[in-house]
Structure 1
Amino acid sequence: MVTHFDASLDAISVHHIGNQANNEMYALSKQPLGLNDEILPKLLMKYFLTPFEKSTEVYHLMHPSDLELNTVYHFATEVFDDAEKFHGASEQIAKYLYNVSNHPNIKPGELYVVLFRNVQIEGNELDVLGIFKSENKETYLKVYPDTGGFTVDYEENAININKLDKGVLIFNIEKENGYKVVVIDKNTGGQDAAVYWKDQFLQLKIRNDSFNQTNNTLSIYKNFVTQKLDDEFEMSKADKIDLLNRSMKYFKEKETFDLDEFAGEVIGNQEAIESFKTYKNNYEQEFDSPIHDTFEISGNAVKKQQRVYKSVLKLDKNFHIYIHGDNKLIEKGFDDDKAMNYYKVYFKEEQ
Structure 2
Amino acid sequence: MSIKIRFNSAVATGLVLAKVGNPQRDEPLQTSKEVFHIEEGDQATLTGIFLKPFKNLIPHRFTHHSSLDQHEMNTIAKAIFASSDGLLEKGCDIAKRLYSKSYHPNIKEGDLCISLIKDIEMESSKVQAICILKSESVVPFLSISTRDGDLKLSTEHGINPEKIDKGCLIVDFSSEDGYYVLTFDRTGTDSRFWVRDFLGLQAVTDAAFLTKSYADMAVAFLKQEVPTETEAAESKTTAAHDAISFFETRETFDLKEFEEEVLKKPDVVAKFAEHRAKVEEEQGQPLEKSFAIAKKQVSKAKKKIGSVLKLDAGIEVHLKPAFGAKENNPLLERGFDEDKGMKFIKVYFHKEEAGS
> TM-score under structure 2 normalisation?
0.73
Query: Structure 1's 234 and 136: CA in aligned 2 closer, same or farther, altered over 3 A?
Result: closer
Alignment of 1:1-351 (within 5 A): 3-35=6-38, 37-53=39-55, 55-103=56-104, 106-120=107-121, 125-146=126-147, 148-154=149-155, 156-187=156-187, 191=189, 195-222=192-219, 225=222, 230=227, 241-259=237-255, 266-267=261-262, 272=265, 287=280, 288-299=285-296, 301-310=297-306, 314-316=310-312, 317-318=314-315, 323-324=325-326
Letter in 2 for 1:315: L
What's the C-alpha RMSD, in Å, of the aligned pairs?
A: 4.1
Cα distance in 2 for residues equivalent to 1:295 and 1:280? 21
Query: Structure 1's 142 and 10: CA in aligned 2 closer, same or farther, altered over 3 A?
Result: closer
Letter in 2 for 1:26: L
Cα distance in 2 for residues equivalent to 1:46 and 1:169? 13
Letter in 2 for 1:29: S
Unaligned runs of 5+ in 2: 329-333, 335-339, 350-356
Task: State the secondary structure of the residue aligned to 1:152.
Answer: strand
Unaligned runs of 5+ in 1: 332-337
| The 10-residue stretch of structure 1 (303-312 or 43-52) with the greater mean CA deviation from structure 2 | 303-312
Give the count of matched residue pairs: 328
Report the CA distance between 1:179 and its aligned residue: 2.0
Contact 2:5 2:123 in 1 (8 A): yes
Counterpart for residue 335 of structure 1: none
Contact 2:251 2:293 in 1 (8 A): yes
Letter in 2 for 1:97: L
Report the CA distance between 1:236 and its aligned residue: 7.7
Cα distance in 2 for residues equivalent to 1:148 and 1:90? 44
Letter in 2 for 1:131: I
1:203-231 CA-to-partner distances (Å, cap 9, x unmatched) read 3322212122112222443456456654x
1:90-111 CA-to-partner distances (Å, cap 9, x unmatched) read 1211221222223455443432
Letter in 2 for 1:82: S
1:298-335 CA-to-partner distances (Å, cap 9, x unmatched) read 31x21332134356653323475964257xxxx9xxxx
Cα distance in 2 for residues equivalent to 1:62 and 1:290? 17
Query: Structure 1's 343 and 268: CA in aligned 2 closer, same or farther, altered over 3 A?
Result: farther
1:31-68 CA-to-partner distances (Å, cap 9, x unmatched) read 32133x33222232132112223x42222233344443
Report the CA distance between 1:127 and its aligned residue: 1.7
1:232-271 CA-to-partner distances (Å, cap 9, x unmatched) read x96886765554333322323434334566566x4495xx
Query: Structure 1's 249 and 22: CA in aligned 2 closer, same or farther, altered over 3 A?
Result: closer
Contact 1:59 1:206 in 2 (8 A): yes
Cα distance in 2 for residues equivalent to 1:7 and 1:196? 29
Query: Structure 1's 121 and 16: CA in aligned 2 closer, same or farther, altered over 3 A?
Result: same
Contact 1:257 1:293 in 2 (8 A): yes
Cα distance in 1 for residues equivalent to 2:137 and 2:119? 29
Contact 1:135 1:165 in 2 (8 A): yes
Task: State the secondary structure of the residue aligned to 1:136.
Answer: coil
Query: Structure 1's 253 and 69: CA in aligned 2 closer, same or farther, altered over 3 A?
Result: same
Contact 2:223 2:239 in 1 (8 A): no
Contact 2:10 2:118 in 1 (8 A): yes
Letter in 2 for 1:211: A
Task: State the secondary structure of the residue aligned to 1:77.
Answer: helix
Cα distance in 1 for residues equivalent to 2:82 and 2:262? 52
Task: State the secondary structure of the residue aligned to 1:254.
Answer: coil
